[in-house]
Amino acid sequence: MAGIMKGMVYMKIEKTLIISVLILILSISTFAQDLNQLDWLNDLDGKSAATYGDAVKIFAIQTSGRSSSFRADSSLLEKSGIALDGYSEGEELSRGMLAKMTARYLDLGGSLMYMVFGAERYAFRACVAEGIMRGDASENDIISGPELVEVLGRVSEIRGDR
């Protein structure tokens, strides 16, 4: 009888050990993903021209806390109504493109023209009116990596306030 009890205790310890090791492995995997995202963010900060793929990734992180592949992130943003049609991952990001994604993400309705037409031009103006973007530029200007990070910082602040 003592042998059976001893065997049950060992099985319980083994089971606990296996669960602990799995939790540790998952934690390390999550930490590695977070480090990859930090590396990507550092790389983005040095880019003279951000891409649509960069915006998709950063909005996916904003939306779900994680980023995967461009295809998966795009799918997530399509379901959320944030993604734009007709742009490829490597296409340079204009202020208008970022403004439209931002307006969709924040559900901005500050501009009648944007609400009616939904164009990048009017989304840009709505973002300027909200203080998200500077008004001394054009919606057609290409946005740099540091500017993308700066705009998304403002978006995060606004999203936290709502």
Pick the range with the lowest mean pLDDT from 5-14, 45-54, 88-97.
5-14
> CA neighbours within 13 Å on the CB side: how many for 115?
6
pLDDT at 93: 96
Asked if residue 55 lies in contact with residue 92, where contact means CB atoms within 8 angstroms, the answer is no
Rounded mean pLDDT, 28-43: 57
Rounded mean pLDDT, 98-110: 86
pLDDT at 21: 44
- Mean pLDDT in the chain? 78
pLDDT at 44: 82
CA distances for 117 relative to 27, 97, 104, 111, 123, angstroms = 46, 14, 13, 10, 9
pLDDT band at 116 (very low <50, low <70, confident <90, very high): low
Contacts of 135 by beta carbon, 8 Å cutoff, 6+ apart: 128
Q: How many CB atoms lie within 10 A of CB 140?
A: 12
Q: Which of 86, 90, 89, 122 has its CA nearest to residue 104?
A: 122
Over residues 122-152, the pLDDT tens digits come to 888 888 988 899 888 889 999 999 999 889 8
The H or E element containing residue 148 is helix 145-161
pLDDT at 156: 85
Domain positions in the chain are 1-45, 49-161
pLDDT at 95: 95
Structure tokens at 134: 């500077």
Asked if residue 105 lies in contact with residue 59, where contact means CB atoms within 8 angstroms, the answer is yes
pLDDT at 13: 55
The more confident residue out of 154 and 33 is: 154
pLDDT at 108: 80
Three-class secondary structure of residue 142 per DSSP: strand
Asked if residue 51 lies in contact with residue 90, where contact means CB atoms within 8 angstroms, the answer is yes
Asked if residue 139 lies in contact with residue 127, where contact means CB atoms within 8 angstroms, the answer is no
pLDDT at 114: 61
Over residues 37-82, the pLDDT tens digits come to 567 677 888 899 999 999 999 899 888 888 889 999 999 999 998 9
